Amino acid sequence: MQDRPPSALGARRIRASSVADHASSRELKDYPLDKHALTVKIEDSTWARDQLVYVPDTEQSNISPEVRLPGWSITGWDLAEHGVQYETDYGDTSAAAPEFSRFEFALHIERPESFFLWKLLLPLLIVLLLGCSVLVVHPTYAEVRLAGPATALLTLVFLQQGYSETLPETGGLVLLDKIYVLAYAVVLGLIGVTILTSHWMREGAEHAVRAQRLDRLAAVGLFAMFLVGTVILLIPML
């Protein structure tokens, strides 16, 4: 930090540099539509706020147009100054806890929507559509009909593991995890319908019409449930 003599108005200019470690503070509960503020905080550890105040130069401050963060979109930035008071008198019992001036620079970033739509949601929709398509097969082919949802279930597990390995431990479900819970429910529903219609067919071929009707209702209903549930989860992100 470089401290210059006070000017005629009593102001003091200070030049400082700081490195922000933002990776550990990111909140990922909205992944893959998460937004973050990468913050640099500068605070003097000696002079209290009644002796030194950082004044943001909002007119002459900016970020370079060449700044790029691969995989992220920069949506803006801001400067701010505010007082910070710690609950300690630092051993000086004759004085109240001092207040310090803190300067903050925040760079706002978010993941592009195309990353979610094309790399994460589209493969998931394809897997579910293929899983629902087995209900088009005649109920007499129970083994073929069970193979489709089973394959879809394994594919979902591998897809979820693929993106989970790129994330730090969050201790809870992120947005994409909740969408995958809906996908698992659809696949389990397909397996249940397939087992039920197979049981009907063993009782007699006269149940084929009823089984095919249930197949059509289940295919449309389960896929619609996934779409509606996904929209409900995404509404707070809009």
DSSP string for residues in 11-45: ---EE-------GGG---TTTTS-EEEEEEEEE-S
Gap between the Cα atoms of 193 and 146, Å rounded? 10
pLDDT at residue 33 in the model: 93
Over the chain, what is the mean pLDDT?
Answer: 85
- Written as six digits, the tokens of 185 are 């429910």
Up-side HSE of residue 142: CA atoms within 13 Å toward CB? Answer: 13
Tens of pLDDT, residues 28-40: 899 999 999 999 9
Tens of pLDDT, residues 89-99: 666 666 677 88
| pLDDT band of 140, cuts 50, 70, 90 | confident
Q: Which run of H or E residues covers position 83? A: strand 73-85
Domain 114-237 has CATH 1.20.58.390: yes
The residue ranges of every structural domain in the chain are 2-111, 114-237
Gap between the Cα atoms of 145 and 132, Å rounded? 10
Contact assessment for residue 111 and residue 32, using Cβ atoms and an 8 Å cutoff: yes
- CATH of 2-111 among 3.40.50.2300, 2.40.110.10, 2.70.170.10, 1.10.287.610: 2.70.170.10
- Written as six digits, the tokens of 70 are 């691969």
Domains 2-111 and 114-237 share a fold: no
Quote the pTM value: 0.81
From residue 66, how far is each of 62, 63, 74, 79, 149 by CA, in Å?
12, 8, 11, 20, 48
Tens of pLDDT, residues 205-216: 778 888 999 999
